[in-house]
Amino acid sequence: MMRLIVISIGCTQIDTEAPFSAAFSGKSEGWGWVSQVIGVGASFGILTSLLVSMLGQARYMCVIGRSNVVPTWFARVHPKTNTPVNASVFLGIFTAALALFTDLDVLLNLVSIGTLFVFYMVANAVIYRRYVAIGTTKQWPTLSFLCSFSFTSIMFTFIWKFVPNERIKAGLLSALGMIAIAIVQLFHCMVPQARKPEFWGVPLMPWIPSISIFLNVFLLGSLDGPSYVRFGFFSAVAVLVYVFYSVHASYDAEGDGSIGQKNGEIHVESKESEEDQCFKV
């Protein structure tokens, strides 16, 4: 016999910090152990997610350190464990300091806006890479498509968020949706692909990257204004560092043949022509 257990909790009784764990505690007799299991599982999930993020970021900083985009101190690899020790220590201390002195909601929104913006840029880059070959094809049809589609997505997001009248909102959203589909289809029919993947590439071009652009813009619209201010500030700092340090340091390192430092040794990476490399976009 199946037993159906219904847990009724009022809106004011839901714990917003741990709703699933709190749902099995309190009035749900005999189910307290479930609350503990959920809490332990959530703790391990948060811990592993943070560790994976920090490890990935440390390796990314190590790679750009080898290219002199950041100081080569970050590219130092431990001789025994072969891990980016300096980058890991720096990011661990920096992340811990941010977590200690910053509100969690601020960090979550900042991480979200950064991740969504990166995904948005990658989707645009995939389309540009597939349809534009410098010196062979014109750039303006692809750039016009990317700008017009992004603008349509932004307008869709603004109407979804700020138009109060449901009937007017539904009409405007339907019209913008049809316009967005027409823009993609027109671009697909009129602009040929400049490159073809040799082995594997993103299928259904340009529909899948266009959907990614739309979804990322739509999700970016759900974030608050202060998050955009913080994102703009950190982005401006990163651009300044890149312009005044990274460009010159990487250019000088490339001229000296020292790009590609690994395990304390300097080696010059071989340069292959774009046509000889396997194209994967």
Q: Which tens digits make up the pLDDT trace of 249-266?
A: 876 666 666 555 444 444
Q: What is the pLDDT of residue 3?
A: 42
Residue 130, sorted as left (phi over 0), alpha (psi -120 to 50) or beta, turns out to be alpha
Q: What is the pLDDT of residue 179?
A: 96
- pLDDT (tens digit, 9 = 90+) per residue, 153-165? 999 999 999 998 8
The answer to whether residue 2 scores a pLDDT higher than 60 is: no
- pLDDT (tens digit, 9 = 90+) per residue, 115-155? 899 999 999 999 999 999 888 889 999 999 999 999 999 99
| Strand ranges for 192-245 from DSSP E | none
The answer to whether residue 64 scores a pLDDT higher than 80 is: yes
Q: What is residue 24's three-state secondary structure? A: coil
Q: What is the pLDDT of residue 94?
A: 86
Measured in Å, how far apart are the chain's first and last C-alpha atoms? 54
- pLDDT (tens digit, 9 = 90+) per residue, 177-232? 999 999 999 999 999 998 888 778 888 889 999 999 999 999 999 898 899 999 99
Q: What is the pLDDT of residue 257?
A: 61
What the block records as the tokens of 217 is: 């813009």
Which has more confidence, 54 or 173?
173
- pLDDT (tens digit, 9 = 90+) per residue, 25-56? 665 566 777 777 887 887 788 778 777 777 78
What the block records as the tokens of 12 is: 């004011």
DSSP string, 53-117: HHHHHHHHHHHHHHTTSS-GGGG---TTT-S-HHHHHHHHHHHHHHHHHS-HHHHHHHHHHHHHH
Q: What is the pLDDT of residue 195?
A: 85
| Residue 10 pLDDT grade (very low, low, confident, very high; cuts 50, 70, 90) | very low
**Alpha-carbon gap, residue 73 to 192, rounded angstroms:** 45
Q: What is the pLDDT of residue 120?
A: 96
Q: What is residue 262's three-state secondary structure? A: strand
**Share in percent of the chain as helix, strand, coil (round to 5):** 65, 0, 35
- DSSP class of residue 269? P
The answer to whether residue 6 scores a pLDDT higher than 50 is: no
Most confident of 20-24, 32-36, 55-59, 113-117: 113-117
The answer to whether residue 22 scores a pLDDT higher than 90 is: no
Which has more confidence, 108 or 89?
89
The answer to whether residue 270 scores a pLDDT higher than 70 is: no
- DSSP class of residue 270? P
Q: What is the pLDDT of residue 23?
A: 67
DSSP string, 206-230: THHHHHHHHHHHHHHTTS-HHHHHH
